């Protein structure tokens, strides 16, 4: 039942037994007492930042107790009660907040920014919204494996303004995913009051707009939260579908402790003060005779003793000792590359066929692999790479998606958390910008932060030369090579495309797989018909010579080959990098040390591209071997124009031959 801030909380225990009633109380009391301690620690400078959930405990505790322990919960920064109700040892939480090794992130991320598979909790990233789509992925895995499990994900009302919220709701409803979307509407998003955050009456109405059954509950009433969530979860396990619950509550302290609450009117604060979820419930239990003051004291003493002991353990723990190797080693999940050799059966196929074949063979090999993308099912994708896949693998594993790149990348992450694999097809690489945030912030950083890998390959049909203009022609690998935690693959030939795609799918880390559209139907090669893999980080030396090292990848490889075919007198090493992360630096240095000259050809515009880094690396490591400055050749510093004559002028291809000759004559 919904109560306004002014009315006292109305409790109805229905048929809940005394044990459950007390457990609900104790589970709320624990985070409250921890928080009271935290405020002291903050004042003493022993904790750096704290986001208080005081006054909102009923939501965390009620929802967590309504779920089974193996069901995933994705909490926010005010949901301490989720962590404590799942019985995480408090010493580990204190270690986490103090940045100690016994925490969950080895001092790499703060506060509640962590997850733990042991407790089926997936913590937030600072960007708030992305975890909503991650919950979709976990719930999708439940549906695909007929597990009948529910996933609960939290957001504040502020977070509901993010696109991720809307995308996640839409995907969950279109795919009928068993996600409980929990909105904690606590009046303010940092200093922004709800009236400046949204214009609809209730946020629950947003769920209805997506065809999702939505409810409004008094978030301060533990019995209402618990009982309703239990019922909904039971029904969702039997009939998977999303549910949205808007919990009306209030943020009793500042956004974070240092920021205060000056902007909150006193009357509002006072009105919610009387609605405190713990004191009201305590009074109810006392009146009922389920709790006595003696028992209550006992609970307080017991919890306080647990807190003090945990704090002592965490405080006694030594500080993290920085070690570069440890840090670098944890960026990626270790992957023991398994080489699969191919038989001698070969056929001549196009670049595009190689990708399609590689993907199909991986789908056969990995029963847990799901492909998602726009128009990829019956339609076969805009480039027809997945044509016929639905017939062979069914539309549970070959999934058409709504147009929502963020939520689909996040769904891939969720599948990975649930132990599955995902390939996400961007219709064009350009559109990855709409899914950029989860790739660079969620997928890339999860393993380093809390040891959770992202077993997701993002396929990127990219590149110019097809007169498609600024939004269908970019080659945006530099957006990702910049980001530690991602692997970046960029084949130039059908053989490499097939073998590297197989490896990308086997590798448990997030891989951006670039496939150049202009090569799709123009490049053919004899390719083994069966499944095989090619290791990452091994460049291919396509031509051998001694006067210059040409270093390139993707379409650049073919431009360089054309130039060398035209100028037979030029004796050059031609290095096709094949993967940009990891990078085969040894192959580059070895060649440059031999030839004494290096030219790097990249299709992307010059500034900030990978050519710049390669150039710097060569200068730093091969300077004394160089007979000339390293030369970078790249496209113009403009967006990519549409019409052929402008596109030709834009592209690096037209400048390469002259630059090469100039370098040779230096």
Ligand X SMILES: Cc1ncc(C[n+]2csc(CCOP(=O)(O)OP(=O)(O)O)c2C)c(N)n1
8 A C-beta contact, residue 489 and residue 512: yes
130 binds ligand X (CB under 6 A): no
Sheet holding 572-576, edge to edge: 540-543, 572-576, 548-552, 598-605, 631-635
Q: Which of positions 258-297 make contact with ligand X (CB under 6 A)? A: none
Whether 383 and 517 have beta carbons less than 8 Å apart is answered as yes
For residue 158, the minimal CB distance to ligand X (Å) is: 3
Catalytic residue among 113, 472, 516, 558: 472
Residues 171 to 190: which contact ligand X by CB under 6 A?
186, 188-190
User: Does 157 contact ligand X by CB under 6 A?
Assistant: yes
**Per rule CB under 6 A, is residue 401 in the interface with ligand X?**
no
Stretch that binds ligand X, among 124-132, 442-450, 496-504, 649-657 (CB under 6 A): 124-132
User: What is the spatial distance between Cα 555 and Cα 532, in angstroms, rounded to a whole number?
Assistant: 23
Q: Which is nearer to ligand X, 189 or 641 (CB)?
A: 189
Helix (H, G, I), strand (E, B) or coil at 650: helix
412 is a contact residue toward ligand X (CB under 6 A): no
Q: In the bound complex, what is the minimum distance in angstroms from residue 462's beta carbon to ligand X?
A: 27
Nearer to ligand X, 257 or 302 (CB): 257
Q: Taking each helix axis as running N to C, give the angle between helix 293-316 and helix 277-288, from 0 to 180 degrees, rounded to the nearest 10.
A: 140
**Binding residues for ligand X restricted to 49-78, rule: CB under 6 A:** 78
Minimum distance of ligand X from residue 163's CB (angstroms): 10
Q: How far apart are CA 243 and CA 214, in angstroms?
A: 6
- Nearer to ligand X (CB atom), residue 186 or residue 427: 186
Q: Is 597 in the site for ligand X (CB under 6 A)?
A: no
Query: Does residue 131 contact residue 73 with C-beta atoms inside 8 Å?
Result: no
Residue 192 CB, nearest approach to ligand X (Å)? 7
Tokens encoding 250: 């209030």
Using rule CB under 6 A, residue 126 touches ligand X:
yes
Instruction: For residues 594 and 402, give the distance between their C-alpha atoms in angstroms, rounded to a whole number.
Output: 52
Structure token digits, residue 130: 């992305």
Return d(Cα 584, Cα 263) in angstroms, integer.
56
The residue among 264 and 512 lying less far from ligand X, judged by its C-beta, is 264
Nearest distance, CB of residue 505 and ligand X, angstroms: 31
Determine, following the binding rule CB under 6 A, whether residue 110 of this chain makes contact with ligand X. no
- Binding ligand X by CB under 6 A: which of 255, 397, 447, 449? 255
Nearer to ligand X, 124 or 464 (CB): 124
Burial of 325 (0-12, 13-18, 19+ CB in 10 A): exposed
Tell me the two tokens of residue 578. 């094949």
The reply to whether 517 sits near ligand X by the rule CB under 6 A is no
Contact set for ligand X, span 440-459 (CB under 6 A): none
Contact 490, 553 (CB under 8 A): yes
In the set 75, 103, 133, 158, which binds ligand X (CB under 6 A)?
Answer: 158
Residue 286 phi/psi, 5-degree rounding, is -65, -45
Rg for the chain (alpha carbons), in Å?
A: 28
CB-based burial label for 367 (10 Å; 0-12, 13-18, 19+): exposed
Minimum distance of ligand X from residue 413's CB (angstroms): 17
Report the residue number whose CB is nearest to ligand X: 156
251 is a contact residue toward ligand X (CB under 6 A): yes
CB 552 within 8 A of CB 598: no
d(CA 598, CA 592): 6
- Tokens describing residue 526: 């004899």
Q: Which residue, 189 or 461, has its beta carbon nearer to ligand X?
A: 189
Q: Where does this chain touch ligand X (CB under 6 A) — which range of 35-43, 121-129, 394-402, 485-493?
A: 121-129
Question: Whose Cβ is closer to ligand X: residue 188's or residue 210's?
Answer: 188
Number of residues that bind ligand X (CB under 6 A): 15
**Looking at 100-108, 122-130, 314-322, 627-635, which segment touches ligand X (CB under 6 A)?**
122-130
Minimum CB separation of residue 213 from ligand X in Å reads: 22
Query: Which of the stretches 126-134, 303-311, 560-568, 652-660 binds ligand X when contact is defined by CB under 6 A?
Result: 126-134
Residue whose CB is less far from ligand X, 123 or 159:
159
Q: Is 472 a catalytic residue?
A: yes
Residues 6+ apart with CB under 8 A from 411: 133, 134, 136, 137, 140, 171, 372, 422
To ligand X, the closest distance from the beta carbon of 84 in angstroms equals: 18
d(CA 218, CA 253): 19
* Burial letters 412-443, b for 16+ CB under 10 A, else e: bbbbbbbebbbbbbbbbbbbbebbbbbbbbbb
Q: Pattern of binders to ligand X over 617-646, x per CB under 6 A?
A: ------------------------------
Of 13, 110, 127, 543, which one interacts with ligand X (CB under 6 A)? 127
Binding to ligand X in span 309-348, by CB under 6 A: none
257, burial (CB in 10 Å: exposed 0-12, middle 13-18, buried 19+): middle
Return the number of the residue (186 or 473) whose C-beta is nearest ligand X. 186
> Judged by CB under 6 A, does residue 499 bind ligand X?
no
Least Å distance between CB 258 and ligand X? 13
Nearer to ligand X, 70 or 262 (CB): 262
Please report whether residue 125 would count as binding ligand X according to CB under 6 A: no
Interface with ligand X in residues 73-92 (CB under 6 A):
78
Minimum CB distance to ligand X, residue 71 (Å): 23
Q: What is the DSSP string of 475-529?
A: --THHHHTSTT-EEE---SHHHHHHHHHHHHHSSS-EEEEEEHHHHTT-EEEEES
Region near ligand X per CB under 6 A, out of 153-161, 276-284, 505-513, 638-646:
153-161
CB of 137 or CB of 189, closer to ligand X: 189
Phi, psi of 80 (to 5 degrees): -50, -35
Query: For tokens 């940045």, what's the residue?
Result: 99
Distance set, CA 370 to CA 148, 376, 523, 539 (Å): 19, 12, 28, 29
Q: Would you say 128 or 135 has its CB closer to ligand X?
A: 128
Q: Is 381 in the site for ligand X (CB under 6 A)?
A: no
The dihedral region occupied by 608, where left means phi > 0, alpha psi between -120 and 50, and beta the remainder, is: left
- What separation in angstroms does the CA of 291 have from each of 18, 220, 274, 351, 426? 9, 19, 20, 72, 57
Residue ranges binding ligand X (CB under 6 A): 78, 126-128, 155-159, 186, 188-190, 251, 255
Active site residues: 472
């Amino acid at each position: 039942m919904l109560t306004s801030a002014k009315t006292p909380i109305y409790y109805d225990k229905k048929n809940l037994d005394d044990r459950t009633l007390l457990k609900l109380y104790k589970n709320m009391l624990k985070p409250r007492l921890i928080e009271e301690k935290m405020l002291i620690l903050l004042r003493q400078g022993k904790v750096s930042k704290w986001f208080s959930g005081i006054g909102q405990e009923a939501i965390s505790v009620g929802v967590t107790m309504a779920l089974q322990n193996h069901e995933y919960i994705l909490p926010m920064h005010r949901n301490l009660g989720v962590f404590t109700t799942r019985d995480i040892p408090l010493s580990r939480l204190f270690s986490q907040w103090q940045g100690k090794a016994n925490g969950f992130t080895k001092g790499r991320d703060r506060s509640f920014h962590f997850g733990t598979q042991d407790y089926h909790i997936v913590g937030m990233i600072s960007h708030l919204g992305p975890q909503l789509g991650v919950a979709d992925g976990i719930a999708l895995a439940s549906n695909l494996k007929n597990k009948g499990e529910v996933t609960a994900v939290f957001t504040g009302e502020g977070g509901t303004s993010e696109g991720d919220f809307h995308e996640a709701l839409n995907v969950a409803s279109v795919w009928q995913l068993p996600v409980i979307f929990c909105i904690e509407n606590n009046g303010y998003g940092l200093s922004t009051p709800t009236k400046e955050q949204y214009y609809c009456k209730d946020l629950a109405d947003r769920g209805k707009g997506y065809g999702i059954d939505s409810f409004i509950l008094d978030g301060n009433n533990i019995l209402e939260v618990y009982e309703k969530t239990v019922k909904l979860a039971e029904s969702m396990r039997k009939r998977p579908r999303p549910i949205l619950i808007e919990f009306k509550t209030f943020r009793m302290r500042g956004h974070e402790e240092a920021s205060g609450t000056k902007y909150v009117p006193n009357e509002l604060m006072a009105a919610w003060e009387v609605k405190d979820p713990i004191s009201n419930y305590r009074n109810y239990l006392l009146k009922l005779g389920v709790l006595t003051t003696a028992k209550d004291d006992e609970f307080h003493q017991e919890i306080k003793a647990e807190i003090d002991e945990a704090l002592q353990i965490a405080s006694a723990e030594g500080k993290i000792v920085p070690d570069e190797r440890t840090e670098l080693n944890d960026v990626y999940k270790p992957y023991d590359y398994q080489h699969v050799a191919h038989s001698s059966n070969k056929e001549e196929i196009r670049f595009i066929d190689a990708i399609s074949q590689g993907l199909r063979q991986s789908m056969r090999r990995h029963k847990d692999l799901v492909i998602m993308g726009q128009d990829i099912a019956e339609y076969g994708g805009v480039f027809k790479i997945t044509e016929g896949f639905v017939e062979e693998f069914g539309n549970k594993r070959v999934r058409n998606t709504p147009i929502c790149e963020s939520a689909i990348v996040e769904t891939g992450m969720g599948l990975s958390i649930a132990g599955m694999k995902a390939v996400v097809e961007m219709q064009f690489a350009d559109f990855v910008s709409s899914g950029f945030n989860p790739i660079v912030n969620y997928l890339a950083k999860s393993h380093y932060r809390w040891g959770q890998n992202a077993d997701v390959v993002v396929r990127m049909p990219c590149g110019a030369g097809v007169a498609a203009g600024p939004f269908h022609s970019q080659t945006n690998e530099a957006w990702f090579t910049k980001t530690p935690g991602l692997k970046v693959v960029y084949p130039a030939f059908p053989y490499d495309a097939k073998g590297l795609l197989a490896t990308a799918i086997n590798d448990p880390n997030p891989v951006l797989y670039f496939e150049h559209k202009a090569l799709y139907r123009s490049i053919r090669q004899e390719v083994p018909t069966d499944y095989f893999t090619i290791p990452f980080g091994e460049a291919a030396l396509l031509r051998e010579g001694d006067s210059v090292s040409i270093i390139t990848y993707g379409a650049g490889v073919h431009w360089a080959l054309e130039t060398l075919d035209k100028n037979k007198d030029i004796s050059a090493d031609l290095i096709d990098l094949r993967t940009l992360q990891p990078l085969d630096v040894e192959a580059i240095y070895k060649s440059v040390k031999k030839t004494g000259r290096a030219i790097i050809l990249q299709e992307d515009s010059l500034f900030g591209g990978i050519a710049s880094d390669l150039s710097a690396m060569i200068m730093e490591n091969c300077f004394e071997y160089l007979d000339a400055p390293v030369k970078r050749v790249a496209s113009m510093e403009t967006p990519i124009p549409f019409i052929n004559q402008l596109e030709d002028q834009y592209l690096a291809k037209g400048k390469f031959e002259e630059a090469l000759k100039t370098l040779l004559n230096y």
